[in-house]
Structure 1
Amino acid sequence: MGKADESRLGTAGPVGSADGVPEDPAEPAEGGGEDEPAAGEKKKGRPAKKKGSGLLEILAYSLGGVVVALLVHTFLLQSFWIPSESMQNTLLVDDYVVVNKLAYKFGPVERGDIVVFKGWNGEDTIKRVIGVGGDHVKCCDAKHRITVNGTPLDEEGKYLYPGAEPSTIEFDVKVPKGRLWLMGDHRNNSADSRYNVEDGHQGTVSEDDVYGRAFLRYWPLNRISLLSQPETFSVVR
């Protein structure tokens, strides 16, 4: 687990005697007409199950489960714990999210996605994508809204922390191809792209450093929900 700033089927023998061989009703049974084998006598055709075979099966299934879990963790899904307030109120401290690590193997990173990535300090970090490669992100317009390619973002009441301004820091960045401009939802409490514009990449992060998209908040139970993409970015071109 990471931290992010964040009925088997078998074949049956033919119906008949205990050893699976049909009896001939015309032939009397040997042994004085006794139909049942003596107590403790091993029935023909049914070898005794070796001791410990049940335990071996359990171990095999357990090992298989572990292998599957490791494969899922490595290539598909991973859980992350939220330690900070930077994504409030979308994500609170001690929330747990599931990240789809294949999300961007077959499609691009999109504006509005919540992603976990290798942050500016080298640690796992979680933020929202505001701008993708080729976008012009700016703060702010006359109504103090962030704009992307000249289109103002309607963030208040959507995902922006109540009472927080879109940004108290001005910026004007053209996002390079293959890179992302990322911001927390709690803009007053998020060390995001705005605070790293002097890092040689204008605060942007490489898409190659993105582990995947957070798509499910699963803990605590009373806050289980999908993390869908807000409609805010649908108007951006």
Structure 2
Amino acid sequence: MDTEAQHTERDRSSGEEERSRSARVSGLDEGSGSAPGGVLTWRRTGLIGVACMVFLLVFSHFVLQPFLVPSSSMEPTLQVGDRILVNKLAYRFGDEPRRGDVVVFDGTGSFVEEQPAGNPVTGLLHDAAAALGLAEPDETDFVKRVVGTGGDRVVCCDKAGRITVNGVPVTETYVMLGDRPSNVRFDIVVPDGTLWVMGDHRSQSSDSRDHLGRPGGGMVPVEQVIGRADWIGWPVGRWSTVPDTEAFDAVPQWTGPGGHG
């Protein structure tokens, strides 16, 4: 028997086993979090996550913000828990809110008084969550329908119980079934640069009517409008656009005192 050949074969076999073992150990090290490659992978994943979060926050701040509907004041158009997508570019390039638009606005100074500053850290976290539609909006934010714009005369009500805008009765098909257009009587002219807004669920909505006797008379400054509610994004079964309305198509500009000619 060739002894030298046997030794050579064993040496070759031992070398292959050693290389195989080294490869397996190397593979385990790369898969564990203790290896430099694993740390870099986790860091890269974390940085990508942070970048995505920052992008979403910037996008929601300037372009399209989810808004959680907290109450029934806009039923049946919007339900409690709906997450609507607010188009922040709708009024950025010279356009202004129109009658019938559903808008989200900051009611500070018109619907609610100025609030003292709270904990800045808590406020920042809440604002970030609200910007992503994960938390209820600030108590100063509201969603309502525009019924009157600058110069309009809005009156409640005519003999048939309808609201009139610039003398034209408005058939508000979006109002909650069983609700009257308003139980509060009013006759106002909307100042330029402001809006008269009302909820679709009139008996459950705190809107411009509730602030008639306060400074500002229930009017919302156009500059306080955050954006227009264009879509319902959640829940999945409610995916749709926020319906348009033709209720105000026949309404002309008001030409009486305080109106536009």
* TM-score (normalised: structure 2): 0.67
**Partner of 1:218: helix, strand, or coil?**
strand
**Partner of 1:208: helix, strand, or coil?**
helix
Letter of the aligned partner of 1:148 in structure 2?
A: V
Distance 2:220 2:78 in 1: 21
Q: Does 1:76 align with 2:76?
A: no
The Cα shift of 1:105 comes to 0.6
Number of residues paired by the alignment? 188
Q: What residue is the counterpart of 1:140 in the other structure? A: 157
Q: What residue is the counterpart of 1:94 in the other structure? A: 81
Q: In structure 1, which of residues 150, 163, 168 is the aligned counterpart of residue 167 of structure 2?
A: 150
Distance 1:193 1:64 in 2: 41
The Cα shift of 1:60 comes to 4.0
- The residue correspondences of 1:3-152 to structure 2 (distance < 5 A) are 51=37, 54-106=41-93, 107-119=95-107, 120-121=111-112, 123-152=140-169
Q: Which runs of structure 1 show a deviation greater than 6 angstroms over 4 or more consecutive aligned residues?
A: none
The Cα shift of 1:53 comes to 5.0
Q: Does 1:213 align with 2:228?
A: yes
The Cα shift of 1:114 comes to 0.7
Distance 2:205 2:214 in 1: 17
Q: What residue is the counterpart of 2:204 in the other structure? A: 189
Q: What residue is the counterpart of 1:47 in the other structure? A: none
Q: Matched residues, percent identical?
A: 43
Q: What residue is the counterpart of 1:159 in the other structure? A: 174
Q: Which sections of structure 1, spanning at least 5 residues, go unmatched?
A: 1-38, 40-49
Q: Considering only aligned residues, what root-mean-square deviation do their CA atoms show, in Å? A: 1.8
Distance 1:66 1:220 in 2: 22
**Partner of 1:231: helix, strand, or coil?**
coil
Distance 1:213 1:55 in 2: 40
Distance 1:127 1:139 in 2: 18
Q: Tell me the alpha carbon deviations over residues 196-226 of structure 1, each in whole angstroms, 9 at most, x when there is no partner.
A: 1111222111111111111111222211110
**Partner of 1:234: helix, strand, or coil?**
coil
Q: What residue is the counterpart of 1:30 in the other structure? A: none
Q: Tell me the alpha carbon deviations over residues 173-193 of structure 1, each in whole angstroms, 9 at most, x when there is no partner.
A: 100000000000011111111
Distance 2:105 2:251 in 1: 24
Distance 1:63 1:83 in 2: 28
Q: Which has the higher helix share?
A: 2
Letter of the aligned partner of 1:115 in structure 2?
A: V
Distance 1:56 1:192 in 2: 49
The Cα shift of 1:102 comes to 1.7
Distance 2:74 2:183 in 1: 17
Q: Which sections of structure 2, spanning at least 5 residues, go unmatched?
A: 1-18, 20-35, 114-139, 253-261
The Cα shift of 1:61 comes to 3.0
Most deviating of 218-227 and 56-65: 56-65
Q: What residue is the counterpart of 2:214 in the other structure? A: 199
